[in-house]
Each structure stands twice: as C-alpha cells, then as structure tokens.
Amino acid sequence: MKLNFILGKNILIVMKLDSILGKNILLVSLIMGSLMGNATGAPALSFVDIEKNNSDGVLSMSLPIGVVLSPDEKNLYVSSNSDSAIVIFARDTVTGALSYVDKV
C-alpha cells in the first residue's frame, strides 16, 4: 500500500473523493504543522486545490479552525482563530477550484 503525504502549515487543501455511489464528496483539510496522508487503493481521491495564507492574495487564514460550504456550493468560508476573521473563497462547482474573494 502506497501512502501519499502532504506536509505544511496554515494550508487549506481541497480534494474530491469519488464515493461508491458515484457522488463527489468534498474533503477539506486544514493543516497546521501536521502530516496528512491517504492510501492509494482506497476510493479515488483526487487533488482539487490548495490555498495558503499570505499567498496569491489570501489573507487572514492563519490557524484556520472551521470550514463551511454554502448551500449552493458556490462559496467556501474558512474561519481563522488567530486572525479573528472569516476568509471567503468562490468555488467552481464543476472543478471545485477555489478563488480568494475577501475576508471579513
């Protein structure tokens, strides 16, 4: 069994898991200096996007603690404990890719 790992700090990683029923499940991992892994041979897990604090315009996402997808799945909201902020991303409903919008 091969394991794939991603190591990082203050990173938002978005992946899709193709379930047995053929539906896509959005997986979001908030990595804060920890290691995340997935085993190949499990249901198909495919990389969608990665967003980092202070990179590509993303601000106020240090120590992310919560993630919410809007009911229409067009926006993703990330709460940041350290910055006392909510970071807003627009989400492509076909690919799942994120685009930084703003922070509140």
Higher-pLDDT residue of 101 and 92 is 101
Distance, in Å, from the CA atom of 77 to the CA atom of 103, rounded to the nearest integer, reads: 9
Q: What is the pLDDT of residue 59?
A: 82
* Contact call for residues 50 and 12 (beta carbons, < 8 A): yes
Tokens at 86, concatenated? 């909510």
In tens, the pLDDT along 19-35 reads: 544 444 555 555 554 33
The domain locations on the chain are: 3-103
